[in-house]
A and B are shown apart, each in its own frame.
Chain A
Amino acid sequence: MNSATRWLAVASLVASAAGASAQTLRVGLAEDPDVLDPTLARTFVGRIVFNSLCDKLFDLDEKLNIVPQLATSYAWSGDHKALTLKLRQGVTFHDGEKFDAAAVKFNLERHKNMQGSNRRGELAPVTSVDVVDAQTVRLNLAAPFAPLLAVLTDRAGMMVSPKAAQAAGAHFGAKPVCSGPFRFVERVAQDRIVLERYPNYWNKGAIHFDRVVYQPIVDASVRLANLRSGQLDFIERMAASDVPGLKGDNRFKISRIVEIGYQGITINIGKSDQAQKNPLGRDPRVREAFELSLDRAAIVQVAMDGEAEVGNQWVAPNNPWYAKNVPIPKRDVAKAKALLAAAGVPNPSFTLMTPTTSDAQKIAQVVQAMAKETGFEVKVQATEFSTSLDLADKGQYDAYVLAWSGRADPDGNLFSFHACKQPLNYAGYCKPEVDELINRSRAATDPAARLKLFEQIEAHVAQDRPIVYLFHRHWLWAYNSKLSGLRTVPDGLVRVQDLKFN
């Protein structure tokens, strides 16, 4: 054996030893993420990938507390119109650029000003950003804005490399450069997104994988089959009906977390003239009768195999911001019939639009059957999702089965839905008193005062019923039992930090 071949042999031994310890985490996603640019991104599933790719100023813990990530501490000014952030030292982006106050300023301005930015609304109250020193930055607000910190735990708080962003312009999403634990390797649309460990990550002790591969597999049964046959280590959003089948298998574990979003039925009460054309949109008594004809627990049992918590508000009953003054109404067919009689429409009919997902269709059909018992003639209209959103936006619907993935701060589930003329206010709900209360809740700096305001808002919403909230799904994660260190954050986004194979 000559020296060259000996070296080769040694080298290959080293390589194979490294190969043995090189670990890949393979994650099955329920959808194909959209563009990987935190400013432009608009899907829930994309946020799962971002959590490995891009660090944020703040993060959430399992109890929805806001914890430091790239910002180590914060301080509000006395009038709550300025937020000063101290930044973590020694953080670099994947291209080696330094993370500092100038980078934060660049990113927040990019979120606010870039054409087509989806973050503009979330950061609207931020009027300007000042670089105080290299590690300190100050956000100036037009008015106090309670949800701001929570907003910074999501895409609006994600920091990308200013140099890379300037160089790539509008094409940054094709090859994102952030400061998260993993950096971008490649993406094959609809097939996989591959990330590799970033060796200079500031918190590298928490990272135990060399690669993360995200694979979109739309069909829930196939996603699960991949987990069971060993092609994947982790899948998000398993089908509730598959839970019993997997429970007996000790090779796998299931985690469930109550989502911060909700599933509900949005009712057109003022979005367009159509609201006046059917008794449901016209008469609050009919809406009350409709709600009373629903048995939420049965809906959850039948449509979701029990994998959801019943609810009646934009946050779940276990959430600290839940308004306890409005409990979940019980099913009351007799009262519902009486209300319909009083309204002069014993057999009101309306069309219930539903996206074509199997969950939504099941909900619609169960609701239809339940409402029938009180006299409602519900016509289910299954509509492809994009079309249904457009019809909702134009107010060409009576009622709409619609889910919201939820935001860490309750404002993200409330403001855009119930404040007058806001983009997600498909119901067309517009009440000056409610607007006033919502605005005060956004400016409220004292949590107790804020909760009081939520209770007042809820009292209105529960009576006017622009949305009849039904339940809060469980995020169902299934994974290989070898995997430990999983953090179950209610936003439904997988955190790779501390995750490892035993």
Chain B
Amino acid sequence: MFKFLVQRLATIIPTLFFVSILIFGLQQLLPGDPATALAGEDHDPNVIAYLRAKFHLDEPVYMRYFYWARGVLHGDLGESVRIQKPVTDLILEKLPVTVQLASMAIVIAIVFGVSAGILSAVKKDTAWDYAANVFALWGLSTPNFWLGILLIMLFAVKLGWLPASGYVSPFEDLKGNLAAMIMPAFVLGNSFAAVLMRHTRSAMLQVLSADYVRTARAKGLEERVVVLKHALRNALVPVITLGALGFGELLGGTVLTETVFSIPGFGKLIVDAVFNRDYSVVQGVVLFTATVYITLNLLADLAYFLVNPRMRG
């Protein structure tokens, strides 16, 4: 157990190294001169020259990577050129928002997705199964921005029950916070519930037809016990993988949902930074979310390890 943990922890460093290379490389692929993008409407050549010098844009890529990596190792993620704020501050500002949104969404997704998946597997080829499928796929095939606007129109404009968009800190006003978060969390959770539902269903079906489940049934165990105790436990392996992946993805930010509901989270921060070519923000935030994501993956691996003892070999 301990050895496994140490081994996995040791993998974090090379992964982060690849992430840093990847994100740095991807930015180089983006067309357009960042200095031109940052110079804005006025497009003053002096400003462009200044920005080029400031960001070492005339130096080779590996030197720029070196400058950046050196900063990161000293705990300096740089500063947003666009709004003159240290990237670390931006991350700390957005972190609670993103964590809350992702957690609420994942809870919604698990509650609806996993239970609908079990139901539709156990009641396979019945009306229950079809209903659960249609519901899940509706969630999956509806783009978030579209569902988001529909919900705003209904609950904020027509019914007036919820605020249309925006974010309220839970420490200022918990009720207001929940009212503002419920729609975006539902939209996000809804599409992810579909993924979980489909995988739970598939895994459950596979497990339910496995020998040991048949044996359990043959032994005359109650169906409920068979499903929950024997089948679900093993069906959870792919579900945990996807759950961790999904949660990580949600933490990385969900651009379109955040944009529609004006939620100031990571996704919007990164994408806006990409379009404004605010590179320190892109690099810093992606590096941070990647670290969180990798940690979550580690926990998922740990969970496999506990769920499926045979993998300990």
Contacts and interface: CB of A to CB of B under 8 A. Distances in A.
Direct contact of A and B (CB under 8 A): yes
B261 interface: yes
A44 B41 contact: yes
A320 to B, nearest CB: 24
B264 A191 contact: yes
Given A221-B149, A225-B164, A231-B163, A189 B83 contact: yes
Contacts of B262: 190-191, 215-218, 222
Central interface residue in B31, B45, B83, by most chain A CB within 10 Å:
B83
Interface string B104-121: 000000000000000000
B37 A222 contact: no
Contacts of B84: 35, 37, 40, 170-174
A226 B165 contact: yes
B71 interface: no
A387 interface: yes
A37 B82 CA distance: 11
Contacts of A226: 156, 163-166
A157 to B, nearest CB: 15
B295 to A, nearest CB: 25
A485 interface: no
A231 B145 CA distance: 20
B36 A118 contact: no
Given A34-B83, A37-B84, A115-B50, A231 B93 contact: no
Given A219-B149, A389-B37, A229 B31 contact: no
A170 B153 CA distance: 43
A228 interface: yes
Interface in A367-391: 384-387, 389-391
B152 A120 contact: no
B202 interface: no
Interface string B91-111: 001000000000000000000
B288 interface: no
B83 A173 contact: yes
B259 interface: yes
B39 A42 contact: yes
B39 to A, nearest CB: 7
Interface string A23-35: 0000000001111
A120 B46 contact: yes
Nearest to B161: A229
A321 to B, nearest CB: 21
Interface string B21-60: 0000000001111001101111111110011001000000
Central interface residue in B39, B43, B153, B156, by most chain A CB within 10 Å:
B43
B50 to A, nearest CB: 5
Given A174-B84, A189-B264, A390-B36, A116 B51 contact: yes
Interface residues of A, number: 52
Nearest to A37: B84
B56 to A, nearest CB: 15
A390 B32 contact: yes
Interface stretch (B190-198, B219-227, B234-242, B271-279): B271-279
A225 B156 contact: yes
A344 interface: no
A190 B268 contact: yes
Nearest to A175: B84
B264 A225 contact: no
Contacts, number: 149
A121 interface: yes
Interface in B254-272: 259-262, 264, 268-269, 272
Interface residues of B, number: 49
B27 to A, nearest CB: 12
Contacts of B145: 219
A222 B157 contact: no
A72 interface: no
Contacts of B41: 42-44, 404-405
A393 B46 CA distance: 15
A390 B31 contact: yes
B164 A222 contact: yes
Nearest to A425: B43
B156 A229 contact: yes
Contact of B45 (A174, A191, A423): A423
A191 B156 contact: no
A391 B90 CA distance: 31
Contacts of B44: 117-118, 120-121, 423
Nearest to B38: A42
A461 interface: no
A222 B149 contact: yes
Interface in A251-306: none
Nearest to A221: B149
A384 B81 CA distance: 20
B153 A225 contact: yes
Nearest to A396: B31
B71 to A, nearest CB: 17
A37 B80 CA distance: 14
B123 interface: no
A188 B93 contact: yes
Interface in B166-186: 166-167
B160 interface: yes
Contacts of A116: 47, 50-51, 54
Interface in A175-196: 187-191
Interface string A227-249: 01111000000000000000000
B136 to A, nearest CB: 26
A118 B42 contact: yes
A393 B36 contact: yes
Nearest to A122: B42
Nearest to A228: B157
A462 interface: no
Given A116-B51, A225-B153, A386-B37, A188 B264 contact: yes
B289 to A, nearest CB: 16
A229 B160 contact: yes
B85 interface: yes
Contacts of B45: 423
A385 B275 contact: yes
21 contacts: A42-B40, A43-B41, A44-B41, A116-B50, A118-B40, A118-B47, A173-B84, A187-B83, A217-B165, A218-B259, A221-B149, A226-B165, A228-B157, A229-B156, A385-B275, A386-B32, A389-B36, A390-B32, A404-B41, A423-B43, A424-B43
The 3 A-B residue pairs with the shortest CB-CB distance, nearest first, are A42-B40, A191-B264, A386-B37
Given A187-B83, A221-B149, A393-B33, 20 more contacts: A35-B81, A36-B83, A42-B41, A43-B40, A115-B50, A190-B262, A191-B166, A191-B262, A218-B259, A219-B145, A225-B152, A229-B160, A231-B166, A384-B32, A384-B275, A389-B36, A389-B37, A390-B32, A393-B43, A416-B42
